[in-house]
Structure 1
Amino acid sequence: MGMHEGVFATCGESDDCVSSQANDAKHKIAPIKANGDPEIVMVDLGNAIDSIFGGKVLLVQDNYLRAEFKSTVMRTMDDAEFFYDQHAGVIHVHAISRGDFFDFDGNRDRIEELRQTFEESQ
């Protein structure tokens, strides 16, 4: 987890990771469309995260947000981080399961649910 110069850590070989900055189809997910003032966008994103089962915002710092989610399948904790690129009009996302549990595409499904919830709030 974490960013370095606007880039998330890679997913590596993890089967339970998705990232809008990944280059391979296995891990690639589209960023979330967003526009507007960063403070408002981050509040809206936080509210969307809180509305999803097991979602909890851990940190908001400028255009970066870190959250955790309780998995609906295995009840494990998953991590997610988001970066709002105001110039590109997108929120980049990186989500990965903790531990060695297969999440049955839980991270991908959760991000798609979050995308829909967030875009409805815009």
Structure 2
Amino acid sequence: MKWILLIVVAAIAAVVGYMTWTNSRVPAGLGVQQGRLAPLPSSPNGVSSFASDPSKQVAALPFKEDLQQSMLAALASLAALGNNETVTRDSDYLHAVFVSEQMRYRDDFELYFDEAQGVVHLRSQSRVGHSDMGVNRARYEAFAEAYLSR
């Protein structure tokens, strides 16, 4: 009986350790590649304006007056949402990381400012877990509302 308990405890520790390690690492492949943000995995834990699956698809947002005004509106909208930190800001790309208050889960939130199309593309995905319980879609909706009202 002690061996079974020891195996169960070891398995739980391994899972928790793996999730902690995964949660702390920035996923490979983020950023703009060939004019697109990275595709989402098959798991239901993210949304993107490039997604073809309707359950993961969100609308790109229209530019403000120009690229600079769109970037400023996006930064102000992220600040208004709180619980995030901008980790990368380039001329046409922004990567922020949201951290949940209770469990400290990290979600990657990317914006690609497509000047040729005059839209802001978005990708938001959880780092760990199979499902995000709709958190990334709700975040997109809150961000879109804040961005469009500026």
Asked if TM exceeds 0.5, the reply is yes
Check the 8 A contact 1:84/1:92 in 2, yes or no. Answer: yes
Number of aligned residue pairs: give it: 121
Q: Which residue of 1 aligns with 2:75?
A: 46
Check the 8 A contact 1:74/1:103 in 2, yes or no. Answer: no
For residue 121 of structure 2, give the secondary structure of its aligned residue in structure 1.
strand
Q: Percent identity?
A: 27
1:37, distance to aligned residue in structure 2 (A): 2.3
Is 2:95 aligned against 1:62? Answer: no
TM-score by length of 1: 0.89
Alpha-carbon distance between aligned partners in 2 of 1:73 and 1:51, rounded to the nearest angstrom: 19
1:7, distance to aligned residue in structure 2 (A): 1.0
Alpha-carbon distance between aligned partners in 2 of 1:96 and 1:73, rounded to the nearest angstrom: 18
| CA RMSD, 1 decimal | 1.6
Greater Rg by CA: 2
Q: Which residue of 1 aligns with 2:42?
A: 13
Alpha-carbon distance between aligned partners in 1 of 2:93 and 2:78, rounded to the nearest angstrom: 14
Structure with bigger strand share is 1
Is 2:92 aligned against 1:78? Answer: no
Alpha-carbon distance between aligned partners in 2 of 1:84 and 1:62, rounded to the nearest angstrom: 8
- Structure 1 residues 73 and 113, CA, compared in 2 at 3 Å: closer, same or farther? farther
For residue 95 of structure 2, give the secondary structure of its aligned residue in structure 1.
strand
Q: Which residue of 1 aligns with 2:132?
A: 103
Alpha-carbon distance between aligned partners in 2 of 1:120 and 1:73, rounded to the nearest angstrom: 29
Gaps spanning 5+ residues in structure 1: where? Answer: none
User: What letter corresponds to residue 47 of structure 2 in structure 1?
Assistant: V
Alpha-carbon distance between aligned partners in 2 of 1:26 and 1:106, rounded to the nearest angstrom: 13
TM-score by length of 2: 0.74
Gaps spanning 5+ residues in structure 2: where? Answer: 1-29
Structure with bigger helix share is 2
